[in-house]
Structure 1
């Protein structure tokens, strides 16, 4: 088997080391020895954008905020579903991750950062949420490991009641907050509701359309008049 090759490293938020590895055509981003993402497993990251964009498909000139760049798959999926008048703002705290997405990772998702509809902000998405009011039609959060922050305890604010209320305020009604997580979390579902969202909880295959294997969780929190209850249908969401 081809060994992993260290391509680059950077300081991770809160300490530790964020490392980019390559093995043939496969890439892995790890922090302190724990894998955060892998280029072979990105179906749920794409689903995050697909589910959110489906909610705002009829909006003129939609504006989307993506928290966490990852390997660019969520951004690319959003761009594929937006028209020429759509705009995507990507907030990424670690400058090296932006550099990797402009360099060795760029072609994985089809060079999404070269699209004129994309603006990259090298800052904590929490700062963006605190500063903007009714600015976005959709907010997509793929930060850390989800509500159970693994790499940086500071990320917990995003998933707290205060963070969710900030996301609610940053959405244009009836906007949607889409949140990626490695697994389910009942307490987080309840926090979404208490922050004012109508909640839809969806399980999606980690590898996309591939059958079997690991599943990830995506919450859709809608700021609007909808009343559909949370639902999970084996990776096939019934969104009402």
Structure 2
């Protein structure tokens, strides 16, 4: 049996401590007893990028904002399908996560943060959204476990009526707000619709082989 080894901790501003574990070749990021992400389960995070790009009206010179680097699955998937003229801003609140990406998880990161199409923003993605007006073709949010703040209560503001209105203003006409969640949330679906988005809710398996828990991605198109 492979032993789970603690190899790092990182403080979440305004939240609790994250812990990075290694078990054999696998990495796990957890908070308390909750496993937030694992290198064994990347399918739904990759789908967040690829399925969003599939829904863009044009991927030529597309401008994306990704909220939450995590283990980089969404960023690497987006880089894999977008062309040389694309621009991807990645907002990560926790500096320690980027340190892990450049340190013990450097092989997993595969240099994605050094891609010339990538701009790294160390800070709250809500501030990046609030500072933009019709800038992005898509905003991809994988912050916390979905609309309910787990690691940080302030994250819930992203998914409030005010937060959704701010995100809509940051999107270009026809742009997409894509949101990953560990579980369905009918109230949040209604909130997206009330915010004036055209909403599509898709179930996606956690593993890239189509197995594992079923996660949810909302694709909300701005008018």
TM-score, normalised to structure 2's length?
0.96
Residue 204 of structure 1 and its aligned partner are, at CA, apart by 0.5
String of CA shifts for 1:89-120, please: whole Å, max 9, x gaps: 00000001111112222322532112111111
Match in the other structure for 2:194: 194
Report what 2:45 is aligned to.
45
Residue 207 of structure 1: SS of its match in structure 2?
Answer: coil
Separation (CA, whole Å) in 2 of partners of 1:196 and 1:123? 28
Runs of 4+ in 1 over 6 A off after TM superposition: none
Q: Is the CA contact 1:89–1:119 (under 8 Å) kept in the aligned structure 2? A: yes
The match for 2:169 is 169
- Which residue does 1:214 correspond to in 2? 213
Q: Which residue of 1 aligns with 2:113?
A: 113
The Cα offsets for residues 197-234 of structure 1, whole Å up to 9 and x where unpaired, read as 100000001102334x310000000013xxxxxxxxxx
SS at match of 1:169: helix
Could you tell me which residue of structure 1 aligns to residue 122 of structure 2? 122
Displacement of 1:40 in angstroms is 0.2
Contact 1:18/1:30, CA 8 A, preserved across alignment: yes
The match for 1:17 is: 17
What is the alpha-carbon distance in structure 1 between the residues aligned to residue 87 and residue 15 of structure 2? 33
Cross-structure match for 1:223 = 222
Q: RCO (CA 8 Å, sep 6+): is it higher in 1 or 2?
A: 2
Is residue 68–residue 143 contact of structure 2 (8 Å, CA) maintained in 1? yes
Query: Which secondary structure does the structure 1 equivalent of 2:163 belong to?
Result: helix
C-alpha offsets along residues 15-43 of structure 1, whole Å, 9 cap, x if unaligned?
Answer: 32111111111000011231110000110
8 Å Cα contact 2:136-2:175 kept in structure 1: yes
Distance 1:40 1:57 in 2: 32
Q: Secondary structure at the match of 1:107?
A: helix
SS in 2 for 1:217: strand
In 2 relative to 1, CA 110–15 (structure 1 residues): closer, same or farther, beyond 3 Å?
same
- For the residue of structure 2 that corresponds to 1:155, the secondary structure is helix
1: CA distance, partners of 2:2 / 2:145? 27
- Residue 53 of structure 1 aligns to a residue whose secondary structure is helix
Gaps in structure 2 of 5+ consecutive residues: none
Residues 134-158 of structure 1, C-alpha deviations (whole Å, 9 max, x = no match) = 0100000000010121111110000
Using the size of structure 1 for normalisation, the TM-score is 0.90
Aligned length, in residue pairs: 223
Q: Do the aligned partners of residues 15 and 59 (structure 1) sit closer, same or farther apart at CA in structure 2, a change above 3 Å counting?
A: closer
Rounded Cα–Cα distance in structure 2 between residues aligned with 1:15 and 1:221:
28
